[in-house]
Amino acid sequence: MLNKLDDYPIHQTPEPIAHPATSDRNVYDRTWFNGYSNDGLRYFGIGMAIYPHRGILDCAFSVVEKGGRQHCFFGSRRAPLERTEMQVGPFRIEVIEALRRTRVVLDDNSSGIACDLTFSARTAPIQEARQILWNGGRRMMDATRFDQFGRWSGEVRHPDGQFHVDDSTWHGTKDRSWGVRRVGETETGGAPERSHGAFFLWAPIIWDDQISHAIFFDGSKGEALVREGIEAPLYASEADVPDALEGTDERMATADHRVKYHPGTRLAASAEIDLINRAGRSRTISLTPLLKFQMKGLGYGHPRWGQGMWKGELETGSESFDPQALDMLAPQNIHVQQVVRASDGERTGIGVLEQVCIGPYEPAGFTELFDGAKG
C-alpha cells in the first residue's frame, strides 16, 4: 500500500510508509495543539490522530472562556490510506511549512463551533526523551514526542460567542507524538488486568526570551519513571528560528515537582517545579492557575468520544458543559490542563500545567483509585 510520502527518501523500514514497524493495535501518530491568551481568560485545544491498525482517523476542537461553558467538537472516520489527508468532515489541518506554520480549520457545522487559526513557530522543535512505561511485561506506552512553542492568529466561534485571536497576545504549544499508547476500546480476553495508576505532569512555559519545559511520569510511591527539564530560546518570529533545528535547547540534569491540591479533588491549586542544571543550580518556578480546561473535550478519557474508538465511516458530534459544575473525581474529569501564571522570583511567564493522577499516589496522600486530597 503506497501513498504520496513514499515518493520521499524517508523510509525507516523496508515497508511502505503506510505499514507501521509494530503490529501493536494501539500504534498511533498524533498532532496536538493548545492556544491561550496572555491574560489567561481564553483557551482552546486541538487534536488529530491516526491509528493505522484500528483503521481510524479522529479529531477534536474544544474552547473555553473564563466563567463560561467549555464547547467541544468531535469527529471520526475510517482512516484514509493517504497520510497527507488530514481531514475529518468539516475539520482539517494544513501543514503550510513543516516545522514553521500550520493552519487549523473547522468549517461551519451543526455544533456552532468553528475556527480558522494559524500557528507560527517561535522555537525550534524540542524532542522529549523517549517515554516507555510498562504494565508487567508489556509496554503500555512507547512514544516519541516533540514540542514547538509559538503564537496564534485567526478567529474562533462557539455557541456563546466569538473572539479574534491576535498573535501579539496569543501563545501556544504544538505537540507531535507517535508510537504506542493505550487508546480506543478496552481490550478483552485473557486474565483480568490488575488495576494500575498513572501520574503525569507536563508544564510548557513561555517567558520573554526563552521557554522552559518539564515532563514527569511518576510511580505510585512518587518514584521517577520519566523526569525531564528543558530550556530553549524563544525567537521573535518564525523567520528567526534557526535552520539548524537541533542543539538549541539546554537539557537539565533533572527536574522535580511539588503540587498542592484543592481539598477533596486531584486538581492542582498551585505547583512548583525545580529545573536543576548540570552544574547543580536549581531554578524554582511557581505556577498559579488562571483557567481550567477539561481534557475530555479532546477525547482524553471521554466515555463516548475517546481517542481511537470506532464511530463509523464518518461521524461528528459535540457537547457543551460548565467546567466549574463537574465532579472532579469522576474518571473522565481527572485529566486537565490549566493556564498558569509562572514566576521564578525574577520574572514572570505564562503557560499551562497538565496533570492526570489515577490510583494511589503516596506524595499526595492518595490511597484509592479516585480519592481526593485531604483538607
What does the pLDDT read at residue 247? Answer: 63
C-alpha cell at 266: 486531584
Beta-carbon contacts of residue 189 (< 8 Å; ≥ 6 apart): none
C-alpha cell at 176: 507531535
- The values of phi and psi at residue 298, to 5°, are -115, 15
- Specify whether the CB–CB gap between 146 and 125 falls below 8 A: yes
Domain ranges for the chain: 26-184+196-241+249-364
CA distances from residue 290 to 12, 259, 293, 334, 337 in whole angstroms, order as listed = 43, 15, 10, 18, 11
CA distance 211 to 261: 25
pLDDT in tens, the chain (375 residues): 888 988 889 899 899 988 898 888 999 999 999 999 999 999 999 999 999 999 999 999 999 999 999 999 999 999 999 999 999 999 999 999 999 999 999 999 999 999 999 999 999 999 998 988 888 888 888 999 999 999 999 999 999 999 999 999 999 999 999 999 989 888 788 888 777 789 999 999 999 999 999 999 999 999 999 999 999 999 999 999 988 666 679 999 999 999 999 999 999 999 999 999 999 999 999 999 999 999 999 999 999 999 999 999 999 999 999 999 999 999 999 999 999 999 999 999 999 999 999 999 999 999 999 999 997
C-alpha cell at 186: 478496552
3-state secondary structure 238-305: HHHCCCCCCCCCEECCEEEEEEEECECCCCEEEEEEEEECCCCCEEEEEEEEEEEEEHHHHCCCCCCC
pTM of the shown model: 0.96
Neighbours of 94 (CB within 10 A): 12
- Specify whether the CB–CB gap between 373 and 357 falls below 8 A: no
Residues 26-184+196-241+249-364: name the CATH superfamily.
AttH-like domain (2.40.370.10)
Strands 198-202 and 170-181: unpaired
What does the pLDDT read at residue 244? Answer: 67
C-alpha cell at 225: 519513571
